[in-house]
Structure 1
């Protein structure tokens, strides 16, 4: 048979589009032509496949005119994932394996020059696409990638370590079956940063608990060395474990970037990009489009330390994803949509020298320097932050006398209970409540309503700020086990939305 057809998939945003690999052998001058909008690394498969077949003792049809077509032709293909389909197509077209068995397979894998199968990006995305399409084909992947794809329920995933393992199961009359991959769910890891490591700082710890319970964004301000980064790094440990659908969404984005680790299955992600990160690094981009840090933090925490040091364009690019929970990357030829349901926690110094408001050090910045430094955060960006909390300096002498505080496990229990109240009431965290839903799910008693309206008028809040304070008050009421928002709940929410410290 001079024509063989193999099924595979190409990564296209957060989906895996089906690709048909057509291999044709013809008489004529020996050549190896690969068509179908393939990137450079795909075209290099010609040399990898040739060496892998010869190293494995298989016949490479060197005396034929070889044409490999990756259809559809207008879909970009990248990576080494098509090495295995091309190799199997050559073997089938030259009659070395049973071509009729290939229709029941979808495969992907990179080949080494010795014929070993190497893992590929997006295995979990391929599994999800296969399940969504309702296909009954077996998914054949390298062993490391197969363990990842097997996390998707109700699909048949097969694994192999070497090209010869696949060939042995596809020979004419062979009865041997490809090895079935099993999902080995890891034992949840224990340990990690604990809230008890931080002494004092009762107000920031309370803000951290409220942020975890409601899914709110948080900005910590204070002099250097007061524990802002330590507090932020402990937020992920207060959040409840991911359910299966959330874990799959989080893992799929990480798999797309080649950063998924099986041992981290079901755990919240903490992403901490350097302050030199560009807008593209945060929101995603490139050709073909890749997910950025906000998408890689799906259902997890995005920690931005030294917030004013980030490029202005990068910070402004966060505004829309913080509101919509998604990011749409548009290019001239294609569009790609990535999820962006992340929880932002940021830290910053109040001024360039960091000592503004310090109890024992004098700030040496001029009012103009302070204003210019704080102006790096635009008003619309700050308007989207739910909690703005000051982290004060604690003298070492007092710090040494303080007892250890509550552990992360203790606080996480209260957070889980509050989240359960919210989910039972509205099927989503409080931070995700739409403005029109607040009247129903966040009822105010008369005293609380009066306090909130007076604060909004006096502090000249926007409608967005008003609704954000109301969502935070709803979370505080959930932590207190109250169905109605009362004046103390609203008062605490107002106190936790402080502005940036003013220049002297």
Structure 2
């Protein structure tokens, strides 16, 4: 019989075997099983005895193979019980996985590990059918391509095996979100604006930059006086992000399950905003016995927002260079080495100086030059080089108005998203690899000359040039240009970091 266990975020297939031999009656589980699987013996005994099963006077040994992988999880209960209940009868149904925790009365219960397990198996192409608890169907039905056979009790599962009926009895979930179809793939999004950009007064440049950042999922940095709207813009960004396809929705849900949350499966990209006092382990993941995911992995396909970024520890800021560059987080521990996907849009905000008044026209800055330099030097050049758009916020004025709504901005983002996908891009502009930049970020002659002049004048690094091209590509998509034109590249250069 086939089950699985999680090793980090990836599932490993486990064969569950049973033998009934002559000897002193007993029941043992071998194969590097954790304490929760060892405790399963008592649950299995009680569930079988409650359902009028008589244990044979034999020694029962159950092996979990391969034996060198640590197994854990209460979802092994059902497979153990079914093998004992079959009592020497050969089980020849290949490709059928069995998952479920047992109650003492034989009821089949759900487990928080089921969704990550089955999704990982599906991504690896290892699963087609599975017997699962009926109470888990509300979220398992989101995983397409797997035939689920839902059972409520142990006796129902035993009957299924004896009759050999393995037909799916669960309908696949259909998303009720708005969708667009491009090249045969459905992309989903919600028109839900909990807070509106219309509430942000003034800040025309920052709002324009925020829309560009959202359209291409570019990393975005805001600097400005306290109260000018940095946090307001960051919190409204999540409502105007591009649509998601099914695999991205399921990956987001998988990480939420691993964190102990119950996903709502809405087509909304996540946003995580850790406090600057958060430890490195809470942001990147960690744990001595079993590594767990952190804020970066939970922000996968969404936004990770660092407010007051200079106050974050140096270790955290420098460690952010890896996920910003490779879109992955590696956790190395004595007991495990785990890799998590971290395809994030990084958003950061800071004051211009410790007191916050350096750019103010009405308030005097109380900081010395040494304090300002020390504050600004908290962020290294290699770290800042991985951020695409930089904006210095304007000071708030009494006449400022909210002139653009989140809905209008979201419509522009969706149109730009369509152009990127219709070009055949697997990734959005902000996440393009080097070879993809050369293929998709094409400049016309005038734009090329402008960029060449900027490279020699400002001494742009290779990464900065790539960043300008990616921003220019997104601006061109917003402006409806097939190639990056002079106007697009000039605007892109206006968002570069001033050293």
Note whether the superposition's TM-score is higher than 0.5: yes
- Structure 2: gaps spanning 5 or more residues: 178-189
With structure 1 as the length reference, what TM-score do the two structures score?
Answer: 0.85
- Equivalent residues in 2 for 1:319-330, closer than 5 Å: 319-330=321-332
Give the secondary-structure state (helix, strand or coil) at the position aligned to 1:187. coil
- Structure 1: gaps spanning 5 or more residues: 1-5
For the Cα contact (< 8 Å) 2:450–2:489, is it kept in 1? yes
1:389 aligned to which of 388, 391, 396: 391
Deviations 1:357-379 (A, max 9, x none): 23333332222222222222221
Cα distance change on mapping 1:58 and 1:226 into 2, 3 Å: farther
Within 2, Cα distance between the matches of 1:133 and 1:483? Answer: 38
For the Cα contact (< 8 Å) 1:139–1:158, is it kept in 2? yes
Cα distance change on mapping 1:475 and 1:7 into 2, 3 Å: same
Higher mean displacement: 409-418 or 143-152: 143-152
Q: Where does residue 226 of structure 2 map in the other structure?
A: 224
Within 1, Cα distance between the matches of 2:369 and 2:356? Answer: 13
Give the secondary-structure state (helix, strand or coil) at the position aligned to 2:244. coil
Higher mean displacement: 444-453 or 462-471: 444-453
Deviation (angstroms), 1:292: 3.3
Within 1, Cα distance between the matches of 2:193 and 2:135? Answer: 27
For the Cα contact (< 8 Å) 2:78–2:100, is it kept in 1? yes
Cα distance change on mapping 1:27 and 1:310 into 2, 3 Å: farther
Give the secondary-structure state (helix, strand or coil) at the position aligned to 1:417. helix
Give the secondary-structure state (helix, strand or coil) at the position aligned to 2:142. coil
Within 1, Cα distance between the matches of 2:231 and 2:312? Answer: 16
Q: Where does residue 111 of structure 1 map in the other structure?
A: 102
Give the secondary-structure state (helix, strand or coil) at the position aligned to 2:113. coil
Within 1, Cα distance between the matches of 2:46 and 2:396? Answer: 65
Give the secondary-structure state (helix, strand or coil) at the position aligned to 1:235. helix
For the Cα contact (< 8 Å) 1:125–1:255, is it kept in 2? no
Deviations 1:293-322 (A, max 9, x none): 333322222222232232222222221222
Q: Where does residue 343 of structure 1 map in the other structure?
A: 345
Within 2, Cα distance between the matches of 1:368 and 1:131? Answer: 53
Corresponding position: 1:87 with 2:81? yes
For the Cα contact (< 8 Å) 1:212–1:235, is it kept in 2? yes
Cα distance change on mapping 1:144 and 1:319 into 2, 3 Å: farther
Q: Where does residue 469 of structure 1 map in the other structure?
A: 468
Cα distance change on mapping 1:159 and 1:231 into 2, 3 Å: same
Cα distance change on mapping 1:383 and 1:62 into 2, 3 Å: farther
Within 1, Cα distance between the matches of 2:277 and 2:38? Answer: 34
Cα distance change on mapping 1:439 and 1:191 into 2, 3 Å: closer
For the Cα contact (< 8 Å) 2:5–2:73, is it kept in 1? no
For the Cα contact (< 8 Å) 2:32–2:69, is it kept in 1? yes
With structure 2 as the length reference, what TM-score do the two structures score?
Answer: 0.85
Within 2, Cα distance between the matches of 1:144 and 1:218? Answer: 42
Deviations 1:220-241 (A, max 9, x none): 2223332222211222221222
Q: Where does residue 150 of structure 1 map in the other structure?
A: 141
Within 1, Cα distance between the matches of 2:240 and 2:154? Answer: 45
Deviation (angstroms), 1:343: 1.2
- Equivalent residues in 2 for 1:226-375, closer than 5 Å: 226-259=228-261, 261=263, 263-286=264-287, 287-331=289-333, 335-375=337-377
Give the secondary-structure state (helix, strand or coil) at the position aligned to 2:201. coil
2:9 aligned to which of 9, 14, 31: 14
Within 2, Cα distance between the matches of 1:268 and 1:118? Answer: 26
Higher mean displacement: 7-16 or 176-185: 176-185
Cα distance change on mapping 1:105 and 1:433 into 2, 3 Å: closer
Within 2, Cα distance between the matches of 1:175 and 1:121? Answer: 27
Within 2, Cα distance between the matches of 1:357 and 1:157? Answer: 60
Deviations 1:427-478 (A, max 9, x none): 1322233334445533434543444344334433322112212211221122
Deviation (angstroms), 1:75: 1.2
Deviation (angstroms), 1:150: 2.7
Deviation (angstroms), 1:157: 0.7
Deviations 1:102-152 (A, max 9, x none): 76631122234444413332425414525744655x312223433433323
Give the secondary-structure state (helix, strand or coil) at the position aligned to 1:19. strand
For the Cα contact (< 8 Å) 2:10–2:117, is it kept in 1? yes
For the Cα contact (< 8 Å) 1:32–1:46, is it kept in 2? yes
2:379 aligned to which of 368, 377, 380: 377
Cα distance change on mapping 1:114 and 1:212 into 2, 3 Å: same
Within 2, Cα distance between the matches of 1:218 and 1:123? Answer: 33
- Equivalent residues in 2 for 1:405-420, closer than 5 Å: 405-420=403-418
Deviations 1:316-363 (A, max 9, x none): 222122222233444556543332222111222233333332333333
The CA RMSD over aligned residues, in Å, is 3.1
Give the secondary-structure state (helix, strand or coil) at the position aligned to 1:20. strand
Cα distance change on mapping 1:465 and 1:166 into 2, 3 Å: same
- Equivalent residues in 2 for 1:472-483, closer than 5 Å: 472-483=471-482
For the Cα contact (< 8 Å) 1:124–1:152, is it kept in 2? no
Cα distance change on mapping 1:299 and 1:393 into 2, 3 Å: same
Within 1, Cα distance between the matches of 2:467 and 2:341? Answer: 22
For the Cα contact (< 8 Å) 2:144–2:172, is it kept in 1? no
For the Cα contact (< 8 Å) 1:128–1:152, is it kept in 2? no
Q: Where does residue 163 of structure 1 map in the other structure?
A: 154
Deviations 1:407-439 (A, max 9, x none): 222111111222222333351322233334445
Give the secondary-structure state (helix, strand or coil) at the position aligned to 1:78. coil
Q: Where does residue 203 of structure 2 map in the other structure?
A: 201
1:422 aligned to which of 414, 420, 423: 420
